[in-house]
Amino acid sequence: MLTSAQLSQLLDQTRKIAEEVGIFIEKERLHFSMDRVEHKGFNDLVSYVDKEAEKQLVAQLQVIFPEAGFITEEGTNTTRGEVYNWVIDPLDGTTNFIHGLPVFAVSIGFMEQDEVVLGVVYEVNRKESYYAYKGGGAFCNGVALQVSKAPDLAASLISTGFPYYQFDLIDRYLDIMKSLMQKTHGLRRLGSAAVDLCYVAAGRSEGYFEYNLNSYDVAAGIILVQEAGGKVTDFEGGSDYIFGRHVVATNHSIHEELMGVIAAHWRKLTQ
């Protein structure tokens, strides 16, 4: 088990790597062309920027912690470690990036056994570096983060993601959103799970929920929410939020109320 001092040092190194790759992504966006986009699946887009950014991340992270394996979106390295693993999304918000919508980020989580113990998210356009390690608090560009103090849904802004496949679930998922539209300050869809989670940690929104997610979408952001005082569960209220493909993250105060709205429709979603 890594000590706090070791995690702190590893975090500093990881932050620098994330920012360097973020600068690469920012430069590539200036002359990016849509004809360089590939389709991994229906509405599942990837570009040479995603692939090259991941190669850079893997190469540099291997140097600073060679004992760790990798869980990567683009499959640059798929060697799993027995104890330690990096969980990487080189460009979370690829569709935003491709269309020039300025919400996308580099996301790096670090797992010890089954637990995320370190996370870094670098939001490229705002040049905001979010980072946390277990027991060390959460920060953005040197400023400590704390979740919102809003007491209930009526005082909350909620973010989510829209399904881009598995459209047979749309109507039921929209029922959740319809209910929340009537109970909150509103809903937002930013297009990057990593950024959504960071904004909960920073108190910019009170809650975030989404399904059909992957571990690399959420690993880094989850520890940021937790270290900022928030709460994270899966849709059933359990702890299978890294690999379970659905997550609910809140400022803690509204968690049960938000879970109640989701639960009223989630059973229908899974039937």
Q: Name which of 20-34, 150-164, 238-252 the model is least confident about.
A: 20-34
pLDDT in tens, 184-221: 999 999 999 999 999 999 999 999 999 889 999 999 99
**pTM of the full structure:** 0.94
pLDDT given for residue 43 in this prediction: 41
CATH of the domain at 184: 3.40.190.80
pLDDT tens figures, 127-181: 999 999 999 999 999 999 999 999 999 999 999 998 766 677 788 889 999 999 9
What is the CB neighbour count within 10 angstroms for residue 141?
10
- Bridge partners of residue 248, in order along the sequence: 209, 233
Element (H, E) at 218: helix 215-227
Q: Within this chain, do residues 160 and 265 fall inside the same structural domain, yes or no?
A: yes
Same domain? For 179 and 117 the reply is no
* pLDDT, position 198: 98
**pLDDT greater than 50 at residue 42:** no
Lowest mean pLDDT segment, chosen from 23-32, 98-107, 255-264: 23-32
In this prediction, residue 166 carries a pLDDT of 66
State both tokens at 38: 């590939």
Check residue 48 and give its pLDDT.
Answer: 83
The residue range of the domain holding 242 is 153-270
Total tally of structural domains belonging to the chain: 2
Question: Taking each helix axis from N to C terminus, what angle separates 215-227 and 193-201, rounded to the nearest 10 degrees?
Answer: 0
Average pLDDT, the chain: 92
Q: Give me the CATH number covering residue 79.
A: 3.30.540.10
Q: Which residue has the higher pLDDT, 235 or 35?
A: 235
